[in-house]
A = this chain, B = another copy of it.
Amino acid sequence: MNATPVSNTRVLLASRPSGEPTQENLRLETVSLPTPGGGEVLLRTIYLSLDPYMRGRMNDARSYAAPVEIGAVMEGGTVAEVVESNDPDFSPGDFVLSHLGWQAYGVQPGRFLRKLDPARAPISTAVGVLGMPGFTAYAGLLEIGKPKEGETVAVAAATGPVGSAVGQIAKIKGATTIGIAGGPEKVAYLKELGFDSALDHRTPLFREELKSATPNGIDVYFENVGGAVWDAVRPRLNTYGRVPVCGLVSHYNETALPDGPDRSAQLMSTILTKSLTVRGFIQTEFVRTHYRSFQEDMSGWIRDGKLLYREDIVDGLENAPEAFFGMLTGKNFGKLLIQVGPDPTR
């Protein structure tokens, strides 16, 4: 058990970024500890998950969900320990999946929490491979991408929590897998993960290498990046190709439409002439129908050593802004987590 805390540290949205977010857009502050009301639980954050979708929440525009208000705590999934509980289902010392955002302590109704069993899997995986990013990969690949045995599946940001799961699940399903990442260190790791081809999108030969690596074209491209990788993938897509679109991180900091020519009609024309399926999604769409099978399949694959995952843990909430900015340009290497407080299970 920890000493009784007296104050809370948190990161607020101070102003909306124009283009790349900076330290000025976020503000660290110390406030008094919140008190749990009826049915509520006081939680201490152990891990804060940093994910690309948070960039969209900083804008005052419709994205997946409502924006974070100016002066409000930045949103985010967390793994936390129960400190004090007014919900009979939770006791101090329990570990829970929660959505406290960027703060060291927080209060949530017990009904919003899911208890975690540290004996089953490391608790950090609840916001990673066994949580939202893993489920995004699982549902998007299997329900939209629908890879068949022998088909070719390509994914970018392939060392990240979504991309690495996409590639490994595709491999388990019998596909040939093409992983794309930035830099030689990440490319080396893609080979450890078992990708059939590992490509560096930063090399000038990337387009040529992608062509050589996909002699039978690409049947499924799991889109989480956009930009130059998508431009290189498009000519390789086969008739009836499927493109689950789960993110476009390379565009999130754009402040205006890029210069022309306008290639939007050309994109529609490619969709038409190749009979492509391009399908945007958020994982929440599939929770009711597929979350249970995801938990079973994914735990099994991890246990059997068929699915590896990598965490990039940065210490201290005060370092969250810098780590977050870096993630938007691919500086993280694996699932990015902020260690906000000690993990008693490690």
Q: Produce 1/0 per residue, A266-298, CB < 8 A to B.
A: 111101111111111110010000000000000
Asked if B280 and A272 make an inter-chain contact with CB atoms under 8 angstroms apart, the answer reads yes
Asked if A271 and B278 make an inter-chain contact with CB atoms under 8 angstroms apart, the answer reads yes
Partner of A275, one of B240, B269, B275, B282: B282
Asked if A230 and B268 make an inter-chain contact with CB atoms under 8 angstroms apart, the answer reads yes
- A285: chain B residues within 8 A (beta carbon): 240, 275
In the complex, A230→B272 CA distance in Å?
A: 14
Asked if A279 and B280 make an inter-chain contact with CB atoms under 8 angstroms apart, the answer reads no
The minimal Cβ–Cβ distance linking A277 to chain B, given in whole angstroms, is 5
Query: How many subunits of this chain does the assembly comprise?
Result: 2
Q: Tell me, yes or no, whether A17 is within 8 Å of chain B by CB.
A: no
Q: Tell me, yes or no, whether A263 is within 8 Å of chain B by CB.
A: yes
In the complex, A277→B244 CA distance in Å?
A: 9
List 20 additional contacts besides A227-B265, A262-B263, A267-B267; criterion CB under 8 Å. Answer: A223-B268, A245-B272, A246-B272, A248-B265, A248-B269, A254-B265, A257-B266, A258-B265, A260-B260, A260-B261, A260-B262, A262-B262, A264-B264, A264-B266, A264-B267, A273-B280, A274-B280, A275-B280, A275-B281, A276-B280
